[in-house]
Chains A and B, each alone.
Chain A
Amino acid sequence: MNKTLKSTIWILIAIIGASAVGSIALNRGENINALWFIAAAICVYSLAYRFYATWIATSVLMLDYTRATPAERFDNGRDFTPTHKWIVFGHHFAAIAGPGPLVGPTLAAQFGYLPGTLWILFGAVVGGCVQDMVTLFLSTRRNAKSLGQMAREELGALGGTAALIGTFSIMIILIAVLGLVVVNAMKHSPWATFTVSATIPVAMLVGIYMRYIRPGQVLEASAIGVILLLVSVGGGRFIDEHETLRLLFDHEGLTLAWWIMAYGFAAAVLPVWLLLAPRDYLSTYMKLGTITLLAVAIIMLQPHIKMPAITPFTDGSGPIFGGKLFPFVFITIACGAISGFHALISSGTTPKLLSNERDIQIIGYGCMLLESFVAIMAMIAATVLDPGVFFAINSSAGVVGTEAVDAVAKISSWGYPVTVEQMQHLAHEMGEATLFARTGGAPSLAVGMASIFGSAFGENLLALWYHFAIMFEAIFILTTLDAGTRVGRFMLQDILGNFWPKMGETSWTPSVVLTSGLVVSGWGYFLYIGVIDPNGGVNILWPLFGIANQMLAAIALCVATGILIKSGKLKFAWVTGLPLAWLVIITTTAAWEKITSSDIRIGFFSAANDLTEKIASGILPPAKASIAPQLIFNLHLDAWLTLFFVGLLWLIIFDMLRVCSRYLSGKAVLPLTESAHIPSRLVEEWARD
């Protein structure tokens, strides 16, 4: 293509992008079409990828396609294998895209569609994608080492330990909050409970099939599994309509929480082939399939966004979680914009497959763009609902009252009209008993997805679509839950192994049982408290998770910035330094507010003091008074945990600054651990396009 034509196309994309972002941002009062979101996203992503990512690749990282990657040098036909870039793209995307980008935007929609959307778009192109790409590059140049190892070898023991502790704590909080999301989706819903529980035997069946009946026939086994899952979505309706069977699956949140803990323990102890591996297959197909379907449905249907651009809740009085727009929108949407967890996949796992450094741009930067796009779709699905309905589903009984009449009156008084009949009709359509106070984001996302799917592919199947969406969310939440518990178990065994070598043996049964039990009780505790919390628990746990995830991202960016400076690229250090500074500002502010705020819906300590006073004056109803001491203890624990996260973050920042200033003043620092340049011998075209 000639140069003028190319520039014209890029100028056109820039103009379309600017007008799409402009109309999203400036639109007030009228309904706006979801296509504007899609257009804005695609243009912003294309421009960022074509110009910013290319510039980082060529000028900052200086990707070298003649250099052999670890996959080529250590090729063993198994984990180290040079792989075609689109295959690696698929693996990497499947690994980084979890429930986070779906839940976060749904919760953040309480501020209106605008703040969340802008943060998803710009946070991703300047922050998240850069983090993923740079980490992938650094690990590729260091024999596919993990983030923790790189932190230890480049910054020092402190950095390494901080990364390890950070990873472990984020895992515990993450699993707890995801468990809570599933519990809230299944509470008193026999249909959802049946469908979600059916995924367990289905996964086991697929596991046995792959291992013993027809070993290695992965696709065959998965096809059977997917069909069985779809059957179980339909089967849930039968259970729901059956007089006695429905009682078997109709449970309180607390009972479900105990079951989930038992399940997590079993999944961490059982062999991977029986539960974890097949479940992972099924959830990956469901995830990729449903996300594609959602994109197609949104483009076909072109729904109108009903949520206003900005709601009055930016002042911190929001019903879903307390806290002002700044910094809490940036904490709530972690995964769609920047997620520290990705650094764990980008280092260690993906570099072992990379056949050429050239692919780092499309895999590191490109996959994160796609994840950000998933977050945009979740934002669309949440905001196509009537705002009144959205708030009725997502506001906990502790905020709007337990009676439907009180709840609709309260929500309508905020200026988002909704009626009891409307909610009953909706619940009936979705095949649920009630949709009031179904906090956690999953039910409202499922209602949004069901209404999009329903309008695009058939109205009469709304209830099926709703439960399909619930199953889709639950299956990969449970995958994260069991994979996370297992990884947590290995990390704990590793740590304990330092003190008592026998504990470090990953197959020694007492160690397996003890460490799995410890990890499950860790997240189980937060899950339990979340379930009994009258305010829904998500309002406390999700910000804590956001802070932890952003902290991990900050650790990854610290390692990256440190290495850039140590490589003599001070003038480019802002590429990772800028997002790092932003993350430090938002996590520190959020943590500061969570600890010191006098608003009982934000500050942990003030909420604890408030409860203590209420107990003392005896104004609490008996049911609440009996759980109050536990809630108080937990609020204190959350406060200390937040303090610990921020302390850890600052510690590693100072450590990074120490290393950098030593380097810049010519003093000795740990040497760069980049592996030597070995020319690539992969000349065959198969590895390329």
Chain B
Amino acid sequence: MINKINTLWRLIRRLSGDDAYEQYLEYYDRHHQNKVKILCQKPLSKAEFFKQWQDEKWNGIKRCC
């Protein structure tokens, strides 16, 4: 039961974009772990990331009639 609630909660967080920053950090780690860290830019802060993410997300046709 608790498992199911957890899954649902994860689903809601993912759908709403609540965990977008965590997703981004995970992605960042996955793609930067094998490379020389110094060459890479540091990951964005949560506020910075959210700004970019939000501006990108609402640029274009996203909603119908």
Contacts and interface: CB of A to CB of B under 8 A. Distances in A.
Interface of A: 75, 77-79, 81, 83-84, 86-87, 90-91, 95-100, 167, 174, 178, 210-211, 215-219, 222, 271-273, 276-277, 280-281, 334-335, 339, 341-342, 344-345, 348-349, 479-480, 483-484, 486-487, 490, 545, 549
Interface in B34-65: 46-47, 49-65
A216 B50 contact: yes
B49 A339 contact: no
A549 B64 CA distance: 11
Q: Do most interface residues of chain A lie in helix, strand or loop, or is the interface mixed?
A: helix
Q: Do most interface residues of chain B lie in helix, strand or loop, or is the interface mixed?
A: helix
A483 B63 contact: yes
B54 A277 contact: yes
Contacts of A276: 58
Nearest to A334: B65
B2 interface: no
B56 A98 contact: no
B17 to A, nearest CB: 5
Given A95-B64, A100-B64, 5 more contacts: A77-B23, A77-B28, A78-B52, A99-B65, A178-B65
Given A96-B64, A335-B65, A77 B15 contact: no
A484 B24 CA distance: 29
Interface of B: 11-18, 20-21, 23-24, 27-28, 31, 46-47, 49-65
Nearest to A342: B64
B15 A90 contact: yes
5 contacts: A78-B56, A98-B65, A167-B61, A219-B16, A339-B64
Nearest to A216: B50
B14 to A, nearest CB: 5
Contacts of B51: 211, 215, 273
Given A95-B64, A99-B65, A178-B65, A281 B58 contact: no
Given A78-B24, A211-B51, A219 B65 contact: no
Contact of B60 (A98, A273, A348): A348
Given A78-B56, A81-B23, A91 B15 contact: yes
Contacts of A349: 60-62
A40 B31 CA distance: 50
B61 A339 contact: no
